[in-house]
Amino acid sequence: MRRFDTWGSEPFDQNVGVVLAGEGIVVIDTRASYRLADELRAELRELSRLPVAAVINTHHHWDHTFGNGRFVPAPIWGHRRCAERVRADGDAMRSRVATQAPEYADELAEVELTPPDRLFDDSATLDLGDRQLELTFLGNGHTDNDIVIDVADAAVVFAGDLLENEAAPGYGDAFPGAWAVAVTERLVPLIAGAVVPGHGSVGDRAFAIAQAADLRAMADLGRQVASGELDQEEAIERAPFPVGTARTAIARSVLELAPPG
C-alpha cells in the first residue's frame, strides 16, 4: 500500500503524518502525551495491520515528541540537535506546559523523555523498500533542528512547524531571519503538490509562498528594530502576525542579530 494520511489532532490542531509502504508504517511526530499517542496507535490499527517501521520527529518541541516512548522499539529519526534538545529541555518544557495548562499536568508527568536515536546533521534517506523518504535539515528556522520530509512519489512534503496554517507561527525558539531564508529558498522549491504544516490545514505551494512572504516581512521588521532604524511598537503595528507573536519575533531577531559574545 502506498499512500499518506494526516490527522488534525485535538487539542492542538496538530498534523500527524502517516506514510504507508511495503515494509510498514512511518509516523511523523507522535503527539504530546502517552494518552494522545495511544489514541494515535489505535487509529493506526484501524488504518493498517502493518507494523510501525519508523518514527520521525520534525523537531524537538514537546507536542511533537512526548509520545515517542509509545512507539519504542521502532527507530526514531531526527536531527542530532533534536535529540540533544529533548534531553536538555524536555523537563523544562514539561514544567512550563503543566503550569500554563494544569489539566495536562498528570499525563505530562508520566512521559519518559525519549529522544530520536537515528540521528543526522544535514540529510538522510529512509528506505522502505518500495518507497524512499528524504529527510532534510534546511537550516535554523522555527528551532535549530527543524527537518522536512519529502515523499516524492506522492508529491507530499511534511514541513513540521516551519509552516503553520490558520494560526500564527511560533517564534519562541526561532531564528527569524534564517527561518525566512529556509522557507523561501529551500522549502518552497521542494513543493510539487501538497505541503503538510505542523498545525492547521494541508496547503500547497501557493500557501507556502504566501507564508514565506509573511516570514520575510517579520524578519525585516526585526532587523530594522535590531539596527535602530525602527521603533519596536511601530514594527509591531506593521507586523503580519498578532501582537504577542510579533513581540516575540522581534525579541528573537534582536538575539539572532546580536554580535557574538
Q: What is the pLDDT of residues 213-245, one digit of tens each?
A: 999 999 999 999 999 999 999 999 999 999 999
Query: Is it the case that residue 8 has pLDDT exceeding 50?
Result: no
Residue 251's pLDDT is 98
Residue 2's pLDDT is 36
Residue 6's pLDDT is 44
Share of the chain above pLDDT 70, in %: 95
> Per-residue confidence at 4, pLDDT binned at 50, 70, 90?
very low
Q: Which residue has the cell 490542531?
A: 13
> Per-residue confidence at 109, pLDDT binned at 50, 70, 90?
very high
**Torsion over CA of 56, 62, 63 and 65, rounded to 10 degrees?**
20
Query: Is it the case that residue 3 has pLDDT exceeding 60?
Result: no
User: What does the DSSP assignment read for 105-172?
Assistant: HHHHHTPPP---SEEESSEEEEE-SS-EEEEEE-SSSSSSS-EEEEEGGGTEEEEEEEEESSSPPP-T
| Spatial separation of the C-alpha atoms in residues 80 and 73, rounded to whole Å | 19
Query: Is it the case that residue 12 has pLDDT exceeding 90?
Result: no
In this structure, what C-alpha cell is assigned to residue 104? 495536562
Statement: the pTM of the whole predicted model exceeds 0.75: yes
Strands (E), the chain: 3-9, 14-21, 24-28, 52-56, 76-79, 118-120, 123-127, 132-137, 147-151, 156-164, 194-199
Intra-chain end-to-end CA distance of the chain, in Å: 53
Our measurement of the distance from residue 226's CA atom to the centroid of its chain's CA atoms, rounded to an integer in Å, reads: 27
Q: Which of 104-108, 114-118, 132-136 has the least mean pLDDT?
A: 104-108
| Spatial separation of the C-alpha atoms in residues 103 and 23, rounded to whole Å | 38
Residue 13's pLDDT is 81
Question: How does the average pLDDT of the chain come out, rounded?
Answer: 94
> Per-residue confidence at 204, pLDDT binned at 50, 70, 90?
very high
Q: Average of pLDDT values for 191-216? A: 97
Q: Are 191 and 205 in contact (CB under 8 A)?
A: yes
Residue 11's pLDDT is 59
Three-state DSSP class for residue 19: strand
Three-state DSSP class for residue 176: helix
Q: What is the pLDDT of residues 44-100, one digit of tens each?
A: 999 999 999 999 999 999 999 999 999 999 999 999 999 999 999 999 999 999 999
